[in-house]
Amino acid sequence: MNGNKPVDLLELARQAGVAQAREHALEARRDSVQLVTFEHNRDPNRELPVGRHPATNRVVFPDMKRQGAGIKPGETYFCDLIEYHPPAGPSVYYANPITKVDASYLFDLRPEHVDKLVEVLLRSAQGKLLEQARAQIRLSAEQDTKHQISALAAEKEAARLENDRLKLEIEKLRQLVVVGSNGDQATRQSPVEPRSSATTRAISTRSHTHIADSQTSAVTGVVNRPAADLLSSPLLSDGRYFVHVSPNRQKLFIHPHPEGNLRAENSSLSVPSLSILRPFDGGEILEVSADPRVGGLSMSLAGTRHEV
Amino acid sequence: MLFSENPADRVMVFIDLANVQKAVRNKETSGFRLDYYRLVNELAGSRRLIGAYIFDAVSTSDRSAFNPKWRLLDALRFLGFRVMAREVNYGEEGQQKEVDVALATELVACAFRDAFDVAIVVSGDRDFVPAIERVRSEGKRVEVAFFGDAALPGEKSSFSVHLQRVADRVHNVDELPVLQVLSAQLEEPA
């Protein structure tokens, strides 16, 4: 040993394994000391109170051969636990009380002790808390998923209904297009949009499906003009008609109506004042377009003249 | 056209009858007559027509059943128009009293009640510009219908260019088939 150098006792102890042994001993003691609450034994043949190890949940009996004899049901102790491995079955613990935890003990605790106690309790109950939290999260997630599934199912059902409705609508429109493309035959068979009474002509909330001529109308036939005020065509089935003209006298619109003021007979419609709208220089042919949704024939009075 | 017609749009038509009659007085020659029912349907197009107003002034001095003005208004009522007739007394006959304000008030009130999506004002009168601007600021569309050609040769068109500037859309009624061709027998104008 060098006499000039001071002796480092801690280093010396470490080298000798004393400190390490002490740390091991403290660690072992920390594990063996637990807070245990004892209850009545559920087994009617046994009178000893029992508790549960807070970390392992194994059974804890009072160590009756040592200081455990004073433990009564309902009491909580900081205990020194000794693990015992029986020949068969799980291990159990025998408890020797260190300090009884009661109201007076709690009142005497200083704040740092309370914090320490809470920390220990939390650490010991960590497994349980985690398990509870996991169960709650799982339950909540399951409920959310169920809600989402039911909402998606409702959306799917609504989409299916909407799809069916649109299919029906497309089918109706297709039929209308077919009727329109059949031209004069279709118009002859059913004068478009017949109206039955005066009230139907009144302003109402009905959907009026007029679309600009440039978008939907197509030339569907021709009308002969054998005389100045006479139009003749198979498109003009016998019956009553209204005839309208634009103020600039460029467009003529003929549509069937039960209360129409002009009557067509033998596929000929007399249109008074037609000669004012378009001078008559002999027989001519006028192109007409029909829109089955509007229900009428539209013709341009400004178009080129086609001689008969 | 910037806007397309939405079939779900609710349309109300506001007709300044005196203005319209002034514009068509040379077009309603013998054999032709303005069909108001056809007019509102042409203007509404594919949209939902939910109401049409007629605004006019009538004289209180002649309430007889043969008064042409009363007969016209009755016929329009029968067709479903809402006729708002302001009364003028003997000294004011031939004048339009309270009519423009009545139309503007109804237009704005309906807009505030959310009674329509699209209002169509059938008039060329510039007096409606503030009301139209107010209605547009409520988020409603306002369209104006007018007769483009002058009523009489040498006369100015009744349509104000200021209306064209504030309207979302302008309909030229001259291009719409709204004049009904009367039958050969003498038909009394409605």
pLDDT per position as a tens digit, A161-215: 999 889 888 887 776 665 555 544 433 333 333 333 333 444 543 333 333 343 4
> pLDDT value at position A192?
36
pLDDT per position as a tens digit, A3-35: 567 777 777 777 766 656 666 666 666 678 888
> pLDDT value at position A234?
82
Q: What is the ipTM of this complex?
A: 0.83
Among B7, B178, B182, beta carbon nearest to A246: B178
Taking an 8 Å cut-off on Cβ atoms, the answer to whether A209 and B44 are in contact is no
pLDDT per position as a tens digit, B25-43: 777 777 888 999 999 998 9
pLDDT per position as a tens digit, A205-253: 333 333 334 344 455 678 888 888 888 888 888 888 889 988 888 888 8
> pLDDT value at position B182?
86
> pLDDT value at position B131?
93
Alpha-carbon distance of A34 to A121, in angstroms, equals 9
> pLDDT value at position B120?
95
Contact criterion met (CB below 8 Å) for A244 and B178: yes
Q: How far is A198 from chain B (nearest CA, A)?
A: 8
Band (pLDDT 50/70/90 cuts) for residue B15 is very high
Q: Mutate one of B5, B179, B187 to test the A interface: name it (highest A CB count within 10 A).
A: B179
Per CB-CB distance under 8 Å, the chain B contacts of A299 are none
List, as one string, the DSSP characters of chain B.
--SPPPTT-EEEEEEEHHHHHHHHTTTS-TTEEE-HHHHHHHHHTTSEEEEEEEEEEEESS---TT-HHHHHHHHHHHHT-EEEEEEE-GGGTTS--SHHHHHHHHHHHHHHTT--SEEEEE---GGGHHHHHHHHHTT-EEEEEE--S-SSTTPPPS--HHHHHH-SEEEEGGGS--EEEPPSS-----
pLDDT per position as a tens digit, A67-122: 888 888 888 898 888 888 888 888 889 999 988 888 888 788 888 888 887 887 77
Torsion sign (Cα): A180, A184, A188, A189:
negative
Chain B residues whose C-beta is within 8 A of a chain A C-beta are 7, 24, 27, 29-32, 35, 37-38, 40-42, 44-52, 78-81, 147, 149, 173-184, 187
> pLDDT value at position A159?
93
A123 vs B144, higher pLDDT = B144
Alpha-carbon distance of A268 to B172, in angstroms, equals 32
Taking an 8 Å cut-off on Cβ atoms, the answer to whether B42 and A248 are in contact is no
> pLDDT value at position B162?
80
> pLDDT value at position B99?
85
Chain A residues whose C-beta is within 8 A of a chain B C-beta are 201-212, 242-248, 250-253, 261-262, 270-274, 276, 298
